[in-house]
Amino acid sequence: MKVACIDFEGVLVPEIWISLAERTGIEDLKVTTRDIPDYDELMGHRLGIMNKHDLSFKQLLDAASQLDPLPGAADFLDWLRSEFQVAIISDTFHELARPLVAKLGKPVILCHRLEIDGDGRIAGYHMRQPDPKRHAVKAFQSLNYQVVATGDSYNDISMLDQADAGMFFCPSEKVTRDYPNIPVARDYAELKTMFANALG
């Protein structure tokens, strides 16, 4: 049996924080894991900007809720679920992912939690565990599953390395330059072919 472990933002849905940046006009919120590989550093950057501009969790949630899956994502995910057991492994947060997951037929998603204070501000966040994407793949492998994985950025590298087969989906030029040995799919047709070939 094979399990597909796939990233969420940038693979199935647009980047939520970029959506907030576009809604608020705050350019610094467009920074993602493609720019700052260390996730704690990135979240510190994001929460600092939200505090500076007095942005609430509801504003971030509204930015997420207004998004739709990337064109072709739902069809790709439907195909994937017909051939694999599928788990979305993401560094997003359950509170933000919920409206988008619903638009994709409520697949399994393993991600983190936000801490919201009484004033509706984001007080902090709780990571599921250190290096969560690699650990998720290892857990499936410990159950004798073969794992095929895809992601788009630096925070996916450990997942792709741990998987039995791993590939990028539409990464930035900087990411592909830094990791030239990881195969790249530039659209869902290519990604489907790579996953199909991984079925052996």
Render pLDDT for 39-48 as a digit per residue (tens, 0 to 9): 889 999 999 9
- The answer to whether residue 115 is catalytic is no
Report the SS3 class of residue 89: strand
Strand 109-116 with 85-93, pairing: parallel
Report the SS3 class of residue 163: coil
- The answer to whether residue 187 is catalytic is no
Render pLDDT for 154-180 as a digit per residue (tens, 0 to 9): 999 999 999 999 999 999 999 999 999
Q: Is the pLDDT of residue 152 over 80?
A: yes
Alpha helices of 8-121 — where are they, by DSSP H?
16-24, 39-52, 57-65, 73-83, 94-103
pLDDT confidence tier of residue 192, bands split at 50, 70 and 90:
very high
User: How far apart are alpha carbons 67 and 82 in whole angstroms?
Assistant: 25
Q: Is the pLDDT of residue 200 over 80?
A: no
Report the phi/psi class of residue 25: left, alpha or beta, with left for phi > 0 and alpha for psi in -120 to 50: left
Q: Which of 7, 15, 152, 156 is catalytic?
A: 7
User: Is 6 inside any structural domain?
Assistant: yes
User: Is 133 inside any structural domain?
Assistant: yes
Domain that holds residue 138: 2-13+71-112+128-198
Q: Which of 9, 15, 91, 156 is catalytic?
A: 9
- Check: CB of residue 67 under 8 Å from CB of residue 100: yes
Give, as one character, the DSSP assignment of residue 70: P
- Looking at the structure of the chain, the number of domains it has is 1
CATH number of residue 147's parent domain: 3.40.50.1000
